[in-house]
Amino acid sequence: MLKRLFSAITHLRTNPYGTPTNGGAAIVDYSITTSDINNSGTRIASGAEISLFIKVHYKRRVSAPIVGFELKAVNGITVFGTNTNLAQTYVSQSLKGEMRLYRFDFRLPLNGGDYFVDLGVAENDGSRGGAIMEVRRSIIHFVIETPMSYEFMGIFDLDASFSEIPLGDGKSNTDSVTEVCQTPEESNESH
């Protein structure tokens, strides 16, 4: 069962940071959900699986809609951004007056801190981003929380692992790193 974290119908009415352009469509609502029942409000655990829903009202016929989002760190650095055009995902045409609901699913393996999300809808005109119909900048704000037992530097958790590799008697300096890293098959091929 998905847990609805927050929705923004009230935010959309009051947030002055929308960037309407040609007016062909409007983002009228959004919602973020997660299956992690420990998340609450706008606080999300690092690594949580997220579903982002975007509801769009089309004010005219749009033959090739593009829907996307951009995730930014508090300092404005783009952590990730995508849209249906970049992802080469087909979006069916929309008619004047139609409402459409779209969903993006992703994981948030981020370091603790504040993050913001831009939402956008455009029409495919052959360019990467399309002809923008509306963008809502920093419309979503949430805080990523990392467990105290696991810390890392930077923005993104690469889920790195570590191991120590024994070197014979531990005193010899004769093996090169290349030799140690070779599989037995590679070692036989080089001789």
Map residue 65 onto helix, strand or coil.
strand
**Position 26 in a domain:** yes
Question: Residue 9 maps to which CATH number?
Answer: 2.70.50.60
**Position 164 in a domain:** no
From residue 24, alpha-carbon distances to 56, 96, 139, 179 in Å are 10, 9, 20, 62
Domain assignment of residue 64, given as a range? 3-145
**Position 134 in a domain:** yes
From residue 72, alpha-carbon distances to 9, 23, 50, 85, 143 in Å are 21, 25, 16, 20, 12
**Position 182 in a domain:** no
pLDDT in tens, 83-117: 999 999 999 999 999 999 999 999 999 999 999 99
Q: What is the DSSP letter of 13?
A: H
pLDDT in tens, 32-83: 888 776 666 688 889 999 999 999 999 999 999 999 999 999 999 999 999 9
Mean pLDDT check: name the lowest of 4-8, 84-88, 169-173: 4-8
**Position 43 in a domain:** yes
**Position 177 in a domain:** no
Count structural domains, the chain: 1
CA pair distance 140, 53, nearest whole angstrom:
12
**Position 42 in a domain:** yes
| pTM, rounded to two decimals | 0.79
**Position 102 in a domain:** yes
